[in-house]
């Protein structure tokens, strides 16, 4: 795919480089020598090596955490793919700013700052923008109904991605560890369409119940998405085409946040199916950004596991979560901190003066 004619996106893509292989090797060498049975802390040790490679440091810093919740509405809701009305998106954004939503509570528990970004909510949030409670990067008042044509223009797709990059840059000086979040009624539908296209799977394979559809509504949702993909014909070799044909503004912004974090060589914890759809878009634009992603959790949505497998990611936790907002990623941030602690605070055999023969 040729690079888009956009200065910010092109500059960001050029700034993304592979993670530090030599630092990964150094981290693994130290972890191999910890005064425990070999690799006994399992995936925490794998993650520790990843963090050393991402940050280029044997003392990765993940203290300052920021979760960006990208919000946008979807025209596809008019096709009956969601159990809830579109107005809930606006209401939930307001709830986030009151600090009482699930993401607020779980972010507080892990010590993360929550930033709410309006990328395409179909409503007026100007008073929250003016009061500094949310950031406005609004592309439009929701996407078009992609059951009837493209969700957005290619220019809007780029604009949504650049919105996420701008948020990453804005938060960079106060953030060591990024997290992705979303809010948008109906957004499992574009996510499923993106996953089906980029992972080359059937719609039925990747489409779940979202906010709780019954069997009949699920079948109707699958049929709607199948017709929408047949109508729009998104090109799986062009992530921007996929985004503009069947995506969402908040999904594009999540992709941009991931790209922005990777360009700054900072880890980013990916939340559930919507965030992972954004990760697929980011990966299609810059395969190198994949190594900066940490899969926070495994959603109950069946398409999520397919997308994670495509990205060669294994989720840190599997708790049956299906909320979104960044909640699973927030919980997983505890494990990211634990991985750093293993690398930096556990003694090696030599440091602890423990005989390996005696320990084993």
Structure-token pair, residue 147: 């059951």
Q: What's the sign of the alpha-carbon dihedral 110, 95, 115, 191?
A: positive
Residue 348 is given by DSSP the state B
Contacts of 268 (CB under 8 A, 6+ apart): 177, 178, 179, 180, 257, 258, 261, 262, 292, 293, 294
Bridge partners (DSSP) of residue 348 are: 34
Three-state DSSP class for residue 81 = coil
Residue 7 contacts residue 330 (beta carbons within 8 Å):
no
Q: Is 325 a catalytic residue?
A: yes
Active-site residue (options: 166, 250, 301, 325): 325
Q: What is the DSSP string of 204-266?
A: HHH---TTT--HHHHHHHHHHHHHHHHHH---TT-HHHHHHHH--HHHHHHHHHHHHHHHTT-
Phi and psi at residue 39, to the nearest 5°: 55, 35
Helix or strand run (H / E) with residue 24: helix 21-32
Three-state DSSP class for residue 163 = helix
Structure-token pair, residue 105: 């509570």
Three-state DSSP class for residue 21 = helix
Active site residues: 325
């Amino acid at each position: 795919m040729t690079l888009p004619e956009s200065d910010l996106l092109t500059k960001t893509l050029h700034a993304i480089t592979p993670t530090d292989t030599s630092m990964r090797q150094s981290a693994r060498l130290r972890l191999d020598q910890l005064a425990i049975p070999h690799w006994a802390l399992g995936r925490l040790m794998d993650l520790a090596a990843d963090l050393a490679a991402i940050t280029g440091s044997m003392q990765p810093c993940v203290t300052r955490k920021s979760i960006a919740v990208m919000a946008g509405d979807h025209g596809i809701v008019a096709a009956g793919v969601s159990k809830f009305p579109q107005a809930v998106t606006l209401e939930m954004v307001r709830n986030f700013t009151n600090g009482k939503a699930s993401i607020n509570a779980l972010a507080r528990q892990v010590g993360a700052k929550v930033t709410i970004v309006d990328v395409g909510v179909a409503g007026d949030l100007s008073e929250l923008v003016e009061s500094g409670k949310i950031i406005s990067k609004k592309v439009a008042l929701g996407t078009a109904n992609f059951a009837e044509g493209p969700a957005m223009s290619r220019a809007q797709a780029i604009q949504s991605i650049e919105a996420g990059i701008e948020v990453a840059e804005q938060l960079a000086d106060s953030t060591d560890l990024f997290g992705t979040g979303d809010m948008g009624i109906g957004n499992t539908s574009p996510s499923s369409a993106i996953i089906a296209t980029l992972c080359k799977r059937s719609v039925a394979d990747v489409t779940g119940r979202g906010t709780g559809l019954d069997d009949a509504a699920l079948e109707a949702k699958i049929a709607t998405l199948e017709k929408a993909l047949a109508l729009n014909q998104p090109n799986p070799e062009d992530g921007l085409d996929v985004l503009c044909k069947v995506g969402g503004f908040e999904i594009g912004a999540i992709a941009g946040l991931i790209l922005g974090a990777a360009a700054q060589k900072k880890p980013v914890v990916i939340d559930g199916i919507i965030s992972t759809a954004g990760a697929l878009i980011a990966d299609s634009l810059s395969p190198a950004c994949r190594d900066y992603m940490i899969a926070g959790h495994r959603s109950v949505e069946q398409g999520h596991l397919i997308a994670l497998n495509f990205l060669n990611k294994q989720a840190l936790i599997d708790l049956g979560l299906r909320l979104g907002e960044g909640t699973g990623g927030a919980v997983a941030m505890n494990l990211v901190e634990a991985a750093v602690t293993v690398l930096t605070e556990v003694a090696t055999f030599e440091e602890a003066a423990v005989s390996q023969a005696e320990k084993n």
